[in-house]
Structure 1
Amino acid sequence: MSDFFDHVKEGLRKSPKALSSRYFYDAKGDALYQKIMNLEEYYLPRSEMQIIENQSVQMARDIALVHSRLQIVELGAGDGTKTKHLIKHFKPHFNSLEYVAMDISDNVLAINEKEIKSETEPIKYKGVAGDYFETYKTIPATQDGRLVMFLGANIGNYTGSDISELFTFVKSKLKDTDYFLVAFDLVKHPRKIMAAYDDSKGITKQFNLNLLERMNRELGANFNLGQFDHFPYYDPLTGVASSQIVSLKKQIVEFSQGFTVSFDHFEAIHTEISKKFFLSDIEEVAEESEMNIEQTYFDTDKGYTFVLFRPQKYGMD
């Protein structure tokens, strides 16, 4: 709770106010996110699953050209409902397969372990709870090949130099024969993107406002949810979709620890970004982080892609 409260105090004192989307994911937030994943407007999981179902075998073959034994480390692993299919397709191509699931949510990791173990032949499994920026640092070296995965288009939560920093961070635990598999949501019609973040059932709104509920539950705040609204926005010039929580009146919110925060009429809290990429953006990320693009795997609409990166060998241009 201390880390959460410290983040809230810092974020709500900023101008403009901002809170991290990582705090969406408590038990209720996890459940709401699963509902979002099943929404008709939220196309991303279907696009990703199409690639997993149709191209996981090819991914495995490409990696097996270099490694006969493989450790898969997934950052922000989620509930495993998609990953179990990828692992199922990978397993016949390797003499040994280990899966390390990293996620900030204990609730989600419990589901992940159940999914992976019940739907695939026995493999080495390890769940690691916590912020992967901390837990990833602790993974020991392995003699096996390593594939780090960052799926769900979560790379879109980063922009600019933060993306290069993430790639450099991941590369710190990779040999030059290892791989980094990243899912990118590509630019497409702006209305399709807007609908994905402003669904007709209002589940995305509930998901965002649950952040206020969580502060009420865990930090003793007195947010009145009826006095706030969720506002998503997409800028086709930058490819950035963003989410805000907007105060519908001038008000003061109090926390049980004595912290108070004031809101002007229509003042917003920024909660999340989700960048959509041009292929040239991905090439630029690879160049800046000194990674090679080994393969790209697209869905049928060419609106979503898995990109397989590999660290450049030391001294190579």
Structure 2
Amino acid sequence: MGEFFEHVKEGLGKTPKEISSRYFYDSRGNALYQDIMQLKEYYLPRCEMQIIENSSDQIAQDLSARHPCLQIVELGAGDGTKTKHMLKQFQPYFGAMEYVAMDISDHVLDINEKEIRREIAQVDYKSIVGDYFETYQSLPETSYGRMVLFLGANIGNYNTTEIYGFFRFIQSRLREDDCFLVAFDLVKNPRKILAAYDDNKGLTKEFNLNLLKRMNRELGANFNIQHFDHFPYYNPLTGVASSQIVSLKKQIVEFSDGFSVAFNLFEAIHTEISKKFFWKDIEGIAQESQMHIEQTYFNPNKGYAFVLFRAN
């Protein structure tokens, strides 16, 4: 049971209770997330594809001005359905191109490889299975320029302190003039944001409650899913959307090794944040991490942005 169980014990012992969203992504969680990305309310993938389709040529031009050959290292690469469009547009601008896909799921990386190789036969493809907080540290040196790619607005899953640390971590494997391209979901109408995490089909609710099912499957817990609900919240003052799993009764949940946890009526487990960024937040990240904002690429309504940071 290992690391997952240790994290669960620690998180459920806190006040308030919390479990990291990284544990959403077992095979069922991955499938549910793919379904969520197709929802009308979940606008983020469509915004991201608008930038990929409209700005990949310009991104490639900006990068090729410094790097004749490019290594793209994608963190949490997923199935490659978006990235393949970017790489296809990149290809004419570089003498050689290497793509390194990092993801915790070997199954997802198998799909990624098929997607990328089908579209771009000439790319030098590598995949690395594991938690990128571990695998990135052992990334081999390259003679190419390096761009680390972090899509999906996943930077919003970290709090401010974690973001600063994450940028310093990424910069540890960048040389001068290497880049970090990050997708940011920007602040917008609060109702639009809240709807993205509270869809009418209930998929986001199922996605969150699958975390309890995973603990039942893998840790021998006895969560009764009917006795819990998903509660999303968005604070327009801070730009933070958050997800909680709420206990609908006073209860005790037991695990197979004798560990147990008590829930009060309406006590919550915090599972995820998804921060929406003000521009001043992004400037603060650059300043704190001592990276330079090289260029910004927006979707048509400027509610979503790719920001290209350059290592100093």
TM-score, reference length from structure 1: 0.97
How far apart, CA to CA, are the structure 2 residues paired with 1:205 and 1:152?
A: 19
Q: Quick check: 1:4 aligned with 2:4?
A: yes
Aligned position for 1:237: 237
Distance in 2, matches of 1:56 and 1:16, equals 43
Structure 1 Cα separation of the partners of residues 233 and 293 of structure 2: 31
Aligned partner of residue 70 in structure 1, secondary structure: strand
Displacement of 1:121: 2.6
What is residue 101 of structure 2 aligned with on the other side? Answer: 101
Task: Provide the residue aligned with 1:166 in structure 2.
Answer: 166
CA distance in 2, matches of 1:137, 1:260: 36
Q: CA deviation at 1:23?
A: 0.5
Correspondences of 1:277-296 after superposition (within 5 Å): 277-296=277-296
Structure 1 residue runs of 5 or longer lacking an equivalent are 313-317
Deviation at 1:112, TM superposition (A): 1.2
Partner of 1:114: 114
- 1:253-268 aligned within 5 A: 253-268=253-268
What amino acid is aligned across from residue 245 of structure 1 in structure 2?
Answer: I
The amino acid that maps onto 2:161 is S
Secondary structure of the structure 1 residue equivalent to 2:52 = helix
Instruction: Assess if the C-alpha contact under 8 Å between 1:293 and 1:310 holds in 2.
Output: yes
Which amino acid in structure 2 is aligned with residue 9 of structure 1?
K
**Deviation (angstroms), 1:104:** 1.5
In 2: Cα distance, 1:27 partner to 1:197 partner: 20
More deviation, 64-73/121-130: 121-130
Q: Name the SS of the counterpart of 2:307 in structure 1.
A: strand
* Structure 1 residue 245 displacement after superposition: 0.3
**Equivalent residue letter for 1:302:** K
C-alpha distance in structure 1 between counterparts of 2:246 and 2:157, whole Å = 20
Contact 1:88 1:121 in 2 (8 A): no
The residue type equivalent to 2:229 in the other structure is D
Q: Deviations over 1:216-239 (max 9, x none)?
A: 111111111000000000000000
Matched-pair identity in %: 70
For these two proteins, the number of residue pairs brought into alignment is 312
Letter in 2 for 1:167: F
Offset of residue 109 of structure 1: 1.5
CA distance in 1, matches of 2:32, 2:170: 29
Query: In the alignment, what sits opposite 1:73?
Result: 73
Alignment correspondent of 1:207: 207
The one-letter amino acid of 1:234's match is: Y
2:195 maps to 195
Match of 1:31, as an amino acid? A
Partner of 1:55: 55
SS in 2 for 1:201: coil
- Report deviation, 1:10: 0.7
1:154 is aligned to 2:154? yes
Deviations 1:152-200 (A, max 9, x none): 0000011212111111100000011100000000000000000000000
| Number of the residue aligned with 1:138 | 138
Cα distance in 2 for residues equivalent to 1:205 and 1:128: 31
Opposite residue 72 of structure 1, the aligned amino acid is: I
Q: Which amino acid aligns with 2:62?
A: D
Look up the match of 2:16: 16
Q: Which amino acid in the other structure matches residue 208 of structure 1?
A: N
**Runs of 4+ deviating beyond 6 Å:** none
By how many angstroms is 1:113 displaced?
Answer: 1.3
Q: What TM-score do you get using the length of structure 2 for normalisation?
A: 0.99
Does the 8 Å contact 1:152/1:183 carry over to 2? yes
Query: For the residues of structure 1 that align with 2:7 and 2:130, how far apart are their CA atoms?
Result: 16
- Bigger drift between 108-117 and 29-38 goes to 108-117
Task: After TM superposition, give the deviation of residue 122 of structure 1 in Å.
Answer: 2.8
The letter for the 2-side match of 1:15 is T
Shift of 1:103: 1.1
User: Alpha-carbon deviation of 1:11?
Assistant: 0.7
Q: Distance in 2 between matches of 1:5 and 1:119?
A: 40
Aligned-pair Cα RMSD in Å: 0.8
Once residues 84 and 132 of structure 1 are traced to their aligned partners in structure 2, the CA distance between those partners, rounded to angstroms, is 20
Equivalences for 1:78-93 in 2 at 5 Å? Answer: 78-93=78-93
Q: Which piece of structure 1 moves more, 109-118 or 172-181? A: 109-118
2:41 partner amino acid: E
Asked if structure 2 preserves the Cα contact closer than 8 Å seen for 1:228 and 1:245, the reply is yes
Structure 2 stretches of 5 or more lacking a match? none
CA–CA distance in 2 between the matches of 1:292 and 1:239? 23
Residue 167 of structure 1 contacts residue 289 of structure 1 at CA under 8 Å; is this kept in 2?
Answer: yes
